[in-house]
Structure 1
């Protein structure tokens, strides 16, 4: 008996006949699940869409900016002029490329210019503003001089923070920037000279020198500093000034060796040239490379290695000169291990940190916090060495701690992070390892392979320290996220 097709297609609840496949109704589309799947596959934005330049402020101290609504296009030229002068001042005072870029973006966005492009190298800044219906504006500013003025950099940071929070107009910002540029540095020249000498003496004490060695280093740096200032007045290039300074330091060590003074020549030279070593510049170069500024990083690397070359040249000339007068060839590049106990090293580290802050013209309010961060970083480095972490991982661990503390403390005191971080990592001695390797390659050609390996190891340590500071800065961002909102509320109450 055949089955009626109508009965098969009917909506009755009768069971299907044996051997027949039951029909399953088509599922309804789940729109929510489909949207979730699309987000997982495609992301929240098209993969080829350009990033808004204001998004570069994410994670920076200027992330929560207040845009001043007004006729931005009519005064675009004045706003860009102010941003360029601000950027030039920050570069002159020692700011990093990322900080300069975020400051430019934050200031121009707060003053109403959002469609800008910024191009930064280690000595020039270009800003292009191209409104959709207007004539494009492109301006360039070249940075032709540099100076140590961390106090001025702190004041510039405060100015940018006030502009971003909506508490300062462009005209008032112009006046404040002029005041910052014309203001004298916080410490006189004679105090800076004494601070540099005290720093060298403290370094000699930390790396195992005696009290007499500390005194010799202090007097040597005072002499070298006066010679360097005299050469600077004659517009002598920095390369030759650095070479002559290292020559003076080495000559003093050679004379002490000839006169049988109970001093270690390598300790005297290391303490004297640590002030000349571009350790902060090397770390800043690596930070610029990590943050996406390869041209700026390459320029700073070249400048740093030229400084190393000048130091090695000055030391080599001094050693050859000493050999002509009958002195034995000294090994001023032998590794130095700190032999002082920790309770002796820590006061010297604190003293040297305050001294280097004075030499860098740091604001008075940051002297004590920077000293605390440096001591904490050195304790972390000491513990890492004692635990057997090695000469590569221990500095990186200390740099992470320095990066975290520097960001938290600096932002609470309305200062950029590098003002606290750079003086705090000097005692990780990232520059001495490169100096030793370059010295071996220059004066002992038979050990050129050893020198090349030493340079490679030194670069690894520098990369570890710089990456540690950047990592610590990023790790501390959740701890400082509410700082910008507090500043905005404070400005609204005024």
Structure 2
């Protein structure tokens, strides 16, 4: 028994004389240890798999309602519905991320967990593997595409209703059948005229005269009708694009033969504007950024095959004209022109309305999409004016478009890409790639210049696509209040 300095008696053996007393180690601080563990390990184990429902974070379907019922017994029907939904969205032009989040939200809302989704460029695979049960794996291949943004908006509304718990699976099946069979908002002849109007308006923006706009209008009408005839004959898209670009170049050659005061590059640029896969390139980069490299690679390959078809058709026309004794035309020269800002804004508005009609956008979204495009063009115009350059100014404009597109689209009950894609068309990222590929094809001595041009164009495309995705993510705090209201309204049942 020993006495401590405070006079309290403690049990133990007194240290021997001349030896240093042994002090008992201090008890570790549990709170400090927990904080240190969190700093080192994080909230979850570093190797734990990600829950697939976590993919819905930040999407419009983050607050879903689970419909409790005999989900396991009807799993096959639920997966069939999800696959048909995904196929419809792909056919109407949705991106891979939009399709994946819709599948996850619908299956989770209808009571199915343990779902895995695999999406490629034209196929969707859903695997359902519950414990102690036979797994189900179904595949759906998308073999056709069509422009139908209005249908995509209705599909988005259907998914939202299913996720909120207000629509059963059978009712969702019926509504999807109605959407698929519903006619598009604009007839075919209106779409043909809108495509020609779009080309004419953009020719005016890039520096063409009124006569050049008229020639572009007629050329697009001619090429569009020929493309539709070839499409009914089941001719592959590659050859349809090549033949259409051949016709456009023949028009340019005829204008040159008859001394028409019009630049051949204006005629060709106006004729191939709608053939350029600018939107597909932007979508490919977005898929790559969002974590779908296989889908992005497929879209990149498809886009560059389209560029190859355009260059092939133009090259054949130019070589044929040279064999007939005509001078070789330079159809890839840069087009420079400056318009007053007010005139440019009018032409941009006309072009955006036209491309919305060509994409079969819902009528209620045409005016908001045009407003977003005008805002983006103003940012691009003033960015170029203050010296941001041809690479950074499009990126800043794309960020603004991404923010506004998400806010406007969610307010109107539509997916973001329905507003964002038509709004970035005015950046014309496809023209620079076309010029670079044309230089590499017909002028081998300038192949280095063409390669540098392709590299610069890809940088701009990456900047535009990344800007749209970044703007979409930046706008999430502004749209979170709607999600919180949905969370209060939705109840698990």
Same fold (TM over 0.5): yes
| Per-residue Cα deviation, 1:347-367 (whole angstroms, up to 9, x for no partner) | 000000000010000000110
Aligned residue in 2 for 1:353: 352
Aligned residue in 2 for 1:3: none
| C-alpha distance in structure 1 between counterparts of 2:478 and 2:337, whole Å | 35
State the 1:460 CA deviation.
1.0
| Per-residue Cα deviation, 1:42-93 (whole angstroms, up to 9, x for no partner) | 1111111111100011111111111111111000000000000000000000
Q: Does the 8 Å contact 2:64/2:490 carry over to 1?
A: no
State the 1:382 CA deviation.
1.1
| C-alpha distance in structure 1 between counterparts of 2:421 and 2:333, whole Å | 26
Indicate whether 1:53 and 2:47 are aligned: no
State the 1:36 CA deviation.
1.1
Aligned residue in 2 for 1:390: 389
Indicate whether 1:10 and 2:3 are aligned: yes
| C-alpha distance in structure 2 between counterparts of 1:30 and 1:207, whole Å | 70
| C-alpha distance in structure 1 between counterparts of 2:21 and 2:400, whole Å | 68
Say how many residue pairs are matched: 483
Aligned residue in 1 for 2:12: none
Q: Does the 8 Å contact 2:63/2:486 carry over to 1?
A: no
* Structure 1 unaligned regions, length at least 5: 1-5
Q: Does the 8 Å contact 2:164/2:490 carry over to 1?
A: yes
| Per-residue Cα deviation, 1:114-143 (whole angstroms, up to 9, x for no partner) | 111101101110000001021100001010
State the 1:473 CA deviation.
0.6
Aligned residue in 1 for 2:263: 264
| C-alpha distance in structure 1 between counterparts of 2:331 and 2:485, whole Å | 53
Give the root-mean-square deviation of aligned CA atoms. Answer: 1.8
| C-alpha distance in structure 2 between counterparts of 1:24 and 1:369, whole Å | 76
* Structure 2 unaligned regions, length at least 5: 8-17
Indicate whether 1:172 and 2:165 are aligned: no
1:258-407 equivalences in 2 (<5 Å): 258-407=257-406
1:35-184 equivalences in 2 (<5 Å): 35-184=34-183
| C-alpha distance in structure 2 between counterparts of 1:334 and 1:192, whole Å | 30
Aligned residue in 2 for 1:457: 456
Q: Does the 8 Å contact 1:166/1:488 carry over to 2?
A: no
Aligned residue in 1 for 2:11: none
State the 1:162 CA deviation.
0.6
State the 1:422 CA deviation.
0.7
State the 1:29 CA deviation.
2.9
| C-alpha distance in structure 1 between counterparts of 2:5 and 2:204, whole Å | 99
**Aligned-partner SS, 1:481:** helix
State the 1:20 CA deviation.
9.3
| C-alpha distance in structure 1 between counterparts of 2:369 and 2:341, whole Å | 19
| C-alpha distance in structure 1 between counterparts of 2:263 and 2:374, whole Å | 26
Most deviating of 383-392 and 137-146: 383-392
State the 1:13 CA deviation.
4.7
| C-alpha distance in structure 1 between counterparts of 2:406 and 2:79, whole Å | 28
Q: Does the 8 Å contact 2:63/2:490 carry over to 1?
A: no
Most deviating of 197-206 and 338-347: 338-347
**Aligned-partner SS, 1:141:** strand
State the 1:483 CA deviation.
2.0
Indicate whether 1:477 and 2:473 are aligned: no
State the 1:342 CA deviation.
1.3
Aligned residue in 1 for 2:439: 440
**Aligned-partner SS, 1:353:** helix
State the 1:264 CA deviation.
1.4
TM-score, length-scaled by structure 1: 0.95
| C-alpha distance in structure 2 between counterparts of 1:146 and 1:133, whole Å | 39
Q: Does the 8 Å contact 1:167/1:491 carry over to 2?
A: no
Q: Does the 8 Å contact 2:115/2:126 carry over to 1?
A: yes
Aligned residue in 2 for 1:430: 429
Most deviating of 392-401 and 475-484: 475-484
Aligned residue in 1 for 2:231: 232
**Aligned-partner SS, 2:94:** coil
State the 1:457 CA deviation.
1.1
Aligned residue in 1 for 2:14: none
| Per-residue Cα deviation, 1:241-292 (whole angstroms, up to 9, x for no partner) | 1111111111111211111111111122112211110001001111111111
Query: Could you say if the C-alpha distance between residues 206 and 490 of structure 1 is closer, same or farther in structure 2, counting changes exceeding 3 Å?
Result: farther
